[in-house]
Amino acid sequence: MASMCSSVSNSSRFLASKPSSSSSCRSKSNLSTIRCAIGEIISEAKVSSSTEPLLLSAVKGEKVERPPVWLMRQAGRYMKSYQLICEKYPSFRERSENVDLVVEISLQPWKVFKPDGVILFSDILTPLPGMNIPFDIVKGKGPIIYDPLRTAEDVSKIREFVPEEFVPYVGEALTTLRAEVKNEAAVLGFVGAPFTLASYVVEGGSSKHFSKIKRMAFSQPEVLHALLQKFTTSMAQYIKYQADHGAQAVQIFDSWATELSPADFEEFSLPYLKQIVDSVKSTHPNLPLILYASGSGGLLERLSLTGVDVVSLDWTVDMAEGRRRLGADVAVQGNVDPGVLFGSKDFITKRINDTVNKAGNHKHILNLGHGIVVGTPEENVAHFFEVAKGIRY
């Protein structure tokens, strides 16, 4: 069981400082045995290799000097540079399906903030046209599925996704990002989880009550299972494709899985997530997989059963409690409330340090508990990264 470690030290300007002898977490020799105030050993960490990105070292459980940091939606509408691109290219799909634009947008936060993870600018619905499911993303409305899937016949028309054929720009963009970033940060890819993708295509877009997908689940479960299996096979291939073209870790977004009860999660989400993880690990055993599900406090233990390397917590879960529930072997990501970035710089600093203290100095990626909110002051994001990168365990 993991315990809280008050292990963060900062100088007045967030410069590196060594832990004092009175620190509640101590390390010794090259193999660091981490002891917390209650005296419980929670892990042993190997010393990080300087030849790979900090994020990858942290996920492996190697000893790192600080938590790696990146932010979900770090490339997006809060940045003035992104707004200028939107003025010139108003279509989201154009921005996310053009190699040069994808690379430029993905690198915008990297050039300004130097995060430890550079995530591909894309969308979880990007594979849909390649599966014979037309869609668009309309400003002010969000995703629109033109022909929602409601019957077994609809599902039978879905074809297996072949990334090389339908999204070659994703592979090209990832390869370019690796060349640009080198190993100064980890290049991250991402996909949507089967249940979340199914929710979009059955509901016809975003939803408040998920009545259509639940109607299918509870009245035609065989149809939903067939749909989920098609997404599972395709997303496993998509993750492998991203890894083969430069992604050094891949995040799986199961945004809507938490609309399911625990029992229904075990039927309609968990088995398919496990299939994806098992398939990817059979060919890419060293590729870190991160799982994020918003509002997942009631499902944490089940999320770890998927076999992913990292569980990303949202802000409604106390980080120390999440650590205890998941155990020391599972890396965690998160989980500062995105709304904190509207607060004062002192308040942001306090919340960052609180999160890192509770996560401890082992297998933690500092992030928000959700994506950056539109309208977030860009200078506050800069402050978040400044503080985070100045932390020393």
Give the pLDDT confidence score for residue 158 in this predicted structure: 97
- Type and span of the H or E element at 187: strand 186-192
pLDDT at 21: 35
Per-residue pLDDT, 50: 59
Q: Which two tokens stand for residue 87?
A: 């003025």
pLDDT tens sequence across 136-189: 998 888 899 999 999 999 999 999 999 999 999 999 999 999 999 999 999 999
CB 206 within 8 A of CB 142: yes
Bond from prior residue into 335 cis (ω within 30 degrees of 0)? yes
pLDDT at 333: 98
pTM recorded for the entire structure? 0.88
Q: So what's the pLDDT on residue 32?
A: 34
Residue percentage of the chain with pLDDT more than 90 = 83
pLDDT of residue 27: 34
Containing 101, the helix (H) or strand (E) segment is helix 99-113
Q: What is the pLDDT of residue 3?
A: 38
Tell me the C-alpha distance between 66 and 272, whole Å. 34
Note the Cα 319 to chain centre separation in Å: 16
In this prediction, residue 30 carries a pLDDT of 34
User: What does 215-279 look like in DSSP terms, one character per residue?
Assistant: HHHHH-HHHHHHHHHHHHHHHHHHHHHHHHTT-SEEEEE-TTGGGS-HHHHHHHTHHHHHHHHHH
Low-confidence ranges of the chain (pLDDT < 70): 1-50
DSSP string, 276-309: HHHHHHHH-TT--EEEE-TT-GGGHHHHHTT--S
Give me the amino acid identity at 185. Answer: A
DSSP per-residue string spanning 210-225: -HHHHHHHHH-HHHHH
Residue 92 · residue 137 · CB < 8 Å: yes
Scan for tokens 């009245």, then name that residue. Answer: 219
- Give me the pLDDT at residue 46, please: 53
